[in-house]
Amino acid sequence: MLVRAGNTWLRMAHAALPAGVLTGCSEAGERDDSTASGRPSATAETSGRDRSAVSSGGTIGAAGSACELPVTFDLAESWKAEAVKAPLSQGPVALACEIDAKPAGSIGFLRVWTGRSGDADARTALEAFVAAEDGVSKEKYSAFTSGGLSGTKVEYLYASELLDETKKESAFAVTTANGPVVVHLGGLDTEEHEEMLPAHELARRTLRVG
């Protein structure tokens, strides 16, 4: 079993917004989701930005890109990707790429996790990934297809000890010949998470085998 880093350290790293690679890491059945108890989402008027749409800023995952992955997908404009070399893991997957939203004006990351090839399907891999994160509740799973790939996505609540509040997180997973891939979106709080969701959706909609 892979060893994953402590969640408390990871949450502190989220708040601290490190410039480089983090040195610590960030259910079965259909369940009802609920609204997080964190701050409500700001409107486009208060943020001055349209949060319902996002432009592509290029593609990640192919050979020669910042992160070489078993899949490719579009990055939101201004987001910056960096390969992770430290051996961080959560459940059946290890952290391979970190995509920072700070250049786009948000606080959070898309993190891409990859695993070894095997018999586990996308849902099994995603459930194991979520189960390995302490403080999770209200998981809601659903299936999706993109670029010929069939996958599973999940929304859930995370009880943050650092912030003393509950916030939303999201992830999706697919399996490839080279193993499972999980793309996770956290965020400092629910407001930041919802602001970054269009970037997460862009990645899922443009997902292709690398």
Q: Indicate the domain borders of the chain.
A: 7-17+58-209
What's the pLDDT at 140? Answer: 98
Compute the distance between CA of residue 169 and CA of residue 184 in angstroms, rounded to an integer: 8
CATH of 7-17+58-209, picked from 3.20.20.370, 3.40.50.2300, 3.40.1000.10, 3.40.250.10, is 3.40.1000.10
What pLDDT does 28 receive? Answer: 33
- Torsion angle (degrees, nearest 10) of CA 24, 77, 163, 137: -80
> Is-contact 60 72, C-beta < 8 A?
yes
pTM for the structure as a whole: 0.76
Output the pLDDT for position 148.
87
SS3 (DSSP) at 143: strand
Provide the pLDDT for residue 96.
97
Instruction: Pick out the chain residues at pLDDT < 50.
Output: 1-51
Give the per-residue pLDDT at 173.
98
Distance CA 153, CA 184 (A): 10
Q: Which two tokens stand for residue 77?
A: 């404009």
pLDDT at residue 162 in the model: 74
pLDDT given for residue 192 in this prediction: 93
d(CA 181, CA 208): 11
pLDDT of residue 50: 44
Helix, coil or strand: residue 200: helix
> Is residue 135 exposed (0-12), middle (13-18) or buried (19+ Cβ within 10 Å)?
middle
